[in-house]
Structure 1
Amino acid sequence: MTPPANRVFRFVNWRLRSDQDDDAPPVRLKFRCLTLTGDDTECGAESEALTDAQEAQRWTFQHLREYPDHTSYAEVIERPWVMWREGPA
C-alpha cells in the first residue's frame, strides 16, 4: 500500500511536568499498612485518598488502635502531571 503523497510529519519536543495550573486536580494522598500478617502477606489496608495530609495520617492511628501490632505504613501520593509541548524538535 502506497502512503498518500501529501503526508506531513511535524516533530515536537514534549516535557512532562507536574500540573500546577489552576484547573489541575488536587494532590491527594493515602496511607497503606505494610505490616506482614501471620501468613507473611501484607495487611494492605489503606485509607481513602484525601487532599488533607493530616486527615490521611489520622487513619494510621485509627488502624493502629484496631491492630496494635500494625506499625509499618507507606504513603501513596497521587500528583497530577501533564505533557507540555515545548515547540519544534
Structure 2
Amino acid sequence: MTTTTRRTFRFVNWTLRPDQDDDAPPLMYGFRCLALTDDDTGCAAKSSLSKDPTEPQTWAFAHRREHPEHTSYAEVIERPWVMWREGST
C-alpha cells in the first residue's frame, strides 16, 4: 500500500533594506590603515567601531602621528540590514 502526501508550496518575495526600526543596532563607524609597511605587507591597524564618526577620525590622526608615512585610510561603516517577507507587517 502506497501513501501519497500532498504538499502545498507558497512562494514569497523577500526584500532587503537598512534596518531603521527603533530596536535596530546602531550605525557604527571606523577607519583602517591602508599603508604598506617596509616589507610590502599591509599595516592592518584599525580603530574601534563607534557610534560617533569623529572618534575613528581622531584615531586616524593619532595613528598618522605615530607613523608619519601612513597617509591612506579606508572608512569602515557597519550598517544593520533586515530581510522582510512580502506581506509582513
Return the TM-score normalized by structure 2: 0.89
Deviation at 1:9, TM superposition (A): 1.2
Secondary structure at the aligned position of 1:37 is classed as coil
Secondary structure at the aligned position of 1:12 is classed as coil
Runs of 4+ in 1 over 2 A off after TM superposition: none
Deviation at 1:7, TM superposition (A): 2.2
Residue in 1 that maps onto 2:33: 33
Secondary structure at the aligned position of 2:13 is classed as strand
**Distance in 1, Cα, partners of 2:7 & 2:23:** 36
Residue in 2 that maps onto 1:16: 16
Deviation at 1:50, TM superposition (A): 0.6
Residue in 1 that maps onto 2:57: 57
Percent of pairs with identical residues: 67
Return the TM-score normalized by structure 1: 0.89
Deviation at 1:75, TM superposition (A): 0.5
Task: Describe the superposition over 1:17-72 as per-residue Cα deviations: whole angstroms up to 9, x where unpaired.
Answer: 00000000001011000001111111010000111001111000010111111100
Structural RMSD (CA): 1.5
Q: Which consecutive residues of structure 1, in runs of 5 or more, have no partner in the other structure?
A: none
Tell me how many residue pairs correspond in the alignment. Answer: 85
